[in-house]
Structure 1
Amino acid sequence: MWWSEGIAGRARRACLRGAGIAVLAALLGGCGFQLRESTNLEFDTIALQGQGGPLMDLLRRRILATTATRIVADPKQAQAVFTLLSDASAQTPTAFNAGGTVAQYALNETARFQLTAPDGHVYIAPTTITRTSMMSYSTSATLAKANEADLLYTGMRRDLVDRILFQLGALHALAPASAPAR
């Protein structure tokens, strides 16, 4: 029994337990897991222009929460001007049941944007990003399916904002306003 092993047995168990914990920590550390870091943008100030709405609100919150970049109201005071050219949601029937009613929808969220200097120099040309999700549909669960669609649209908007921030973060250095874009 463990109580009759004495001090040497307890020390061995403690050593084995410590080694097991160290191995476990090494395995977890080696898997590549890390917390999401802040996005590093190459500009200190940005102006956000374009239509408002949930996507723009989410982008504004994410820039404020995860970057060191400040949002300014006047585009002339910003190093970069982000313009949301369009943001659209669409729901398209993709499958029908035997009775002819819709059984499945494709939900689309599309954002079109550009990034320029205050003088009009283009850093990111007008770019369109689309996210699509499929959703089954049943007339007996109309309210539940409407709530599901809202959740899917919210998730797609988050994904679009992640993609936009990835593209903004991929700019390694903003070229001077007089230099050609690369």
Structure 2
Amino acid sequence: MNRRFFLATVPALLVAGCGFQLRRSDGIPFASLYVDAPSGSVVAQHIRNSLTRNKTTRLAPSASEAEAILKLTQEEHTKVILSLSGAGRVTEYRLGLRLVYSVLGKAGRNLVAPEAIELSRDITYDDTRVLAKGAEEQLLYRDMDDNAAQRIVRRLQAIKLDAVVDEHHG
């Protein structure tokens, strides 16, 4: 019994001692946030879902009711031919997502200057498996949308509180 306890606690102590922590959702330093995005933005929906799940920040129904505004612009999916076979058939595509975002405070002050996120995924293509490759393509686009949303939420969490405090006092 003591040996089992010892073997179970030693790895936990080693991991805790090295400073390892699971990624936490610390929250965003705003009580309310308005997400200004083009209609139908999948990335914006992922961000809203993430913030609603964490319950750390209230999503404001309008920009005037929010402490900060997350502005998403230029959200664009691309599909470019990457390679062709000797017979001139497409064998690979490069799928892409380009998104520009910024965060504004109440007075229109930039808390996060416009930043671009560019993601890409390569996909092989076989015209004998059109349905399967179409499903794979949609899965890769969803993965890029989710990845971009996670990056933006982490960036929101990293905004320094002194920038927010300055916003309230200045």
**After the TM superposition, which parts of structure 1 deviate over 2 Å for at least 4 consecutive aligned residues?**
14-36
1:98 aligns with 2:86: yes
> Which residue number in structure 1 is paired with residue 38 of structure 2?
51
> Which residue number in structure 2 is paired with residue 142 of structure 1?
130
2:139 counterpart (123, 128, 151): 151
Q: How does 1:1-182 map to 2 (within 5 A)?
A: 14-27=1-14, 29=16, 34-52=21-39, 53-173=41-161, 174=164, 175-176=166-167, 179=170
> Secondary structure of the equivalent of 1:73?
coil
| 1:27 Cα offset (Å) | 4.7
Rounded to whole Å, the distance in 1 between the matches of 2:18 and 2:93 is: 37
| 1:64 Cα offset (Å) | 1.2
> Which residue number in structure 2 is paired with residue 9 of structure 1?
none
Deviations 1:99-118 (A, max 9, x none): 11111111101111111123
Rounded to whole Å, the distance in 2 between the matches of 1:39 and 1:51 is: 27
Rounded to whole Å, the distance in 1 between the matches of 2:106 and 2:132 is: 46
Rounded to whole Å, the distance in 2 between the matches of 1:38 and 1:67 is: 10
> Secondary structure of the equivalent of 1:171?
coil
| 1:126 Cα offset (Å) | 1.8
- Larger RCO (alpha carbons 8 Å, 6+ apart): 2
| 1:73 Cα offset (Å) | 1.2
Contact 2:35 2:70 survives alignment (8 Å): yes
Q: Which has the larger radius of gyration?
A: 1
What is the count of residue pairs matched by the alignment? 166
- In the superposition, the TM-score normalised over structure 1's length comes to 0.81
Rounded to whole Å, the distance in 1 between the matches of 2:131 and 2:95 is: 16
Alignment root-mean-square deviation, CA: 2.1
Contact 1:39 1:165 survives alignment (8 Å): no
Rounded to whole Å, the distance in 1 between the matches of 2:168 and 2:15 is: 46
Contact 2:106 2:167 survives alignment (8 Å): no
Flag structure 1 segments of 5+ consecutive residues without an equivalent: 1-13
Identical residues among aligned pairs (%): 24
Tell me: CA distance 1:39–1:107, structure 2 relative to 1, closer, same or farther (3 Å).
Answer: farther
- In the superposition, the TM-score normalised over structure 2's length comes to 0.87
| 1:167 Cα offset (Å) | 1.5
